Amino acid sequence: MGGEDWEDWIGQLKDEGCLAEGCLTTNYTYLGSEVTWPIYYHGTIGRAKEDLDRAARALSSVLAGVNGQANVIVMKGLLTQAASAIPGMSVYLSLLFKAMKAEGTHEGCLEQVDRLFRTQLFSSPQRRDDAGRIRMDDWELKPEIQAYVQSHWGQITQDNLDELTDFEGYRQAFLNLHGFNFASVDYAAEQDPDVLMALQEL
């Protein structure tokens, strides 16, 4: 959701009287490290991220009447449909997964949101940066994690891909994201595409 969409959504809820006292609204973003800034932050995508910060500030004024708050949450590098389409991110994430799994700090989408709710969103003090964003990418940006990524960034070849990165983990996450490679599913089983949906009376 972009900044304007976020503002429109919250504005509509406010106008209809649907916002509770002390409500929170959050929007997730990704900033990355020095390795990904040329791709993720210094290009067109970066302008959208700047607009998200602007929208959070604007929404804080809108929500003041109900003591509400708008938060931009900076997440760690994750395998998403968007990330999988951005050049270079598959290499970066494969390196990141390798380093973070070795340290025991790797998280998927659900694990990271769980940590956000348990340790930041409703806790104090919160880990905020100078722009007021809550930072959940702290484990990704640890010096030792980024040192591994940066030192191997230019060394990867087809021959050492599986040794230096967790490309298999990236591949598994990509397939799962699109509904494939689940051990509990028999993909060879015949399926009837014509499924009758029961209409339930309301």
Active site amino acids: 40
Instruction: Identify each DSSP E strand in 38-197 by its residue range.
Output: 69-74, 134-135
Structure tokens at 163: 């040794």
Give the closest residue to 149 by CA, choosing from 31, 36, 30.
Answer: 36
How far CA 71 is from CA of 16, 81, 125, in Å, comes to: 22, 23, 15
Q: Which residues of 168-200 are buried (b: 16+ CB within 10 A; e: fewer)?
A: ebbebbbeebeeeeeeeeeeeeeeeeeeeeeee
Structure tokens at 164: 């230096």
